[in-house]
Structure 1
């Protein structure tokens, strides 16, 4: 997710996200579905959030 996606989510779903934390991983939206490089980047980025 990029900053532009975060802004859109907050604009469209503000009441539902009021007490929720969202994390921007700063991965560009330029990969195809299940691209191995994208999957690797997601796994690396998300691990720190899931471990803590």
Structure 2
């Protein structure tokens, strides 16, 4: 756990950096997959469980 804290501290102080812009295509793909899963999974599980307000009760 201490090494993770040191990594975060190094990022904060500028001793270490992470190239987000250079890996943007990977992050776009990961984001797109997450969005697609978030849309498809409720539909694959049988639709939405609508409450009483939408059933006319």
Q: Same fold (TM over 0.5)?
A: no
With CA pairs under 8 Å and 6+ residues apart, which has the higher RCO, 1 or 2? Answer: 1
Larger Rg: 2
- TM-score, structure 2 normalization: 0.29
